[in-house]
Amino acid sequence: MNEEKTMEQDSAVEMEFDLGDPPQKVWRAITIPELRERWLPQEALADPDAITVTPGEEVRYKLRDDAPPFLESTVTFTITPNATGGTCLRIVHELTEARFDRMARAAANSNSPPLMLAA
C-alpha cells in the first residue's frame, strides 16, 4: 500500500511513502544505477555517484537543473522497515544554492526605490 505524506519548507520538499516491498528491494531500486535510471535519470544528476551512503539506510545524490539558472540541489533517500514487513521511504529534496535563498527571502515588491551602490 502506498501512503504519501508531503511537507514543504522554504527550500525543501519532504515526502514519506509506506511501501509493501521489503527494505532490501527498495535499497536496490535507489542505489543500483540501472534500476535508479528508470525513475531518476542520469541527466538529472550532477554526479552519477552518491554524495553519501549509509548502506541499507540512507543515500544522497546531487542534482542539477537542465535549464537556466541551473540550480543545484540534493535529494536524500532514507529507508526504514515498517511494522508490516514493508518499507518506509522518506525523500527530502533540498535546494543547496545560496543564491536561491537570497532571492526567496527578498520581497517581490519592497515598495522602496532601487538604490545603486557607490564603488
How many Å apart are CA 115 and CA 26, to the nearest integer? 53
Give me the architecture of the 3-105 domain, per CATH: 2-Layer Sandwich (3.30)
How many Å apart are CA 17 and CA 88, to the nearest integer? 6
pLDDT digits (tens, 9 = 90+) for 65-108: 888 788 889 999 999 999 999 999 999 999 886 555 444 555 55
The whole-angstrom distance between residue 72's C-alpha and the CA centroid of its chain comes to 10
pLDDT bucket at 9, cuts 50 / 70 / 90: low
Q: What is the pLDDT of residue 67?
A: 80
pLDDT bucket at 118, cuts 50 / 70 / 90: low
Are 50 and 61 in contact by the 8 Å Cβ rule? The answer is yes
- The answer to whether the pTM exceeds 0.85 is no
Q: Which residue has the cell 515588491?
A: 109
**Grid cell for residue 12:** 525543501
